[in-house]
Chains A and B, each alone.
Chain A
């Protein structure tokens, strides 16, 4: 099993829709989680940090399910500008290395 697994997509959704995608992780010791967004040919940028059961920031909600070892990202009222690839990153105490998921591609359609 891969350390971090994400559905590559693409998820094609109309503007205004709600979309959610999951990220599963294999290391049960993972404690903190990050979601990054990456636009085409650009660098990843931090979207959200998740330290406990979840986090909400405007239209974006991250929820953590430790029992099933996945973290989800929900985007409400999708905008064209939300089109990007979303990378999941679980982190584990005692290691410098972060394992990045390969990302889920979202396309919001007009």
Chain B
């Protein structure tokens, strides 16, 4: 079974802090993704990576950056946290190819105070 592990289930941070969310997958997947999910808005793609050290902006990259130094790890960074970044953050991974399903971590519920 694919295992995608996110570092924290719940996280509370203060406005202006730099926040790191970590994601690790154990299935040698090339592609990794960060989403945020808000009520009524569904899943929105922040950034994705199709290979080590490669990254691409998703639909809502502003205020975020990412790092992928190793194949199994994809980090999401909130450069200066703001209250509108309070959300559920979901990491996903999959093999290359559009017939491959994405597998999700169990999410990080982030609150910015």
Answer yes or no: are A and B bound together in one complex: yes
Q: Which residues of A contact B (CB under 8 A)?
A: 31-32, 34, 41-46, 49, 51, 87, 89, 91-98, 100-103
- Residue of chain B at shortest CB distance from A102: B42
CA of A43 to CA of B105, assembled, Å: 7
CA of A89 to CA of B109, assembled, Å: 23
**Sample of 9 more A-B contacts, CB < 8 Å, known A44-B104, A97-B45:** A32-B99, A34-B102, A43-B90, A45-B104, A89-B102, A91-B99, A96-B50, A96-B56, A102-B42
Which of chain B's residues 32-69 have a Cβ closer than 8 Å to chain A? 40-43, 45, 48, 50, 56, 58
B79 contacts the other chain (Cβ, under 8 Å)?
A: no
B16 contacts the other chain (Cβ, under 8 Å)?
A: no
Q: What is the minimal beta-carbon distance from A6 to any residue of chain B, in angstroms?
A: 9
CA of A9 to CA of B107, assembled, Å: 24
Q: What is the minimal beta-carbon distance from A36 to any residue of chain B, in angstroms?
A: 8
Interface residues contributed by chain B, number (CB under 8 Å)? 22
Given contacts A43-B107, A45-B104, contact A100 B42 (CB under 8 A): yes
B98 contacts the other chain (Cβ, under 8 Å)?
A: yes
Cβ of B105 and Cβ of A97 under 8 Å apart? Answer: no
B22 contacts the other chain (Cβ, under 8 Å)?
A: no
Of the residues B41, B45, B48, B58, contact of A102 by C-beta under 8 Å: B41
Given contacts A32-B98, A42-B107, A46-B101, contact A96 B48 (CB under 8 A): yes
CA of A102 to CA of B99, assembled, Å: 21
Which 9 A-B residue pairs are closest in the complex by CB-CB distance? A102-B42, A43-B104, A91-B98, A100-B43, A32-B99, A46-B101, A43-B106, A43-B107, A93-B98
Subset of 29 A-B contacts with CB under 8 Å: A31-B98, A32-B98, A32-B99, A34-B101, A34-B102, A41-B88, A41-B109, A42-B107, A43-B90, A43-B105, A44-B43, A44-B104, A45-B104, A46-B101, A49-B101, A51-B99, A87-B42, A87-B43, A91-B99, A92-B98, A94-B98, A96-B31, A96-B50, A96-B56, A97-B45, A97-B58, A98-B102, A101-B42, A102-B41
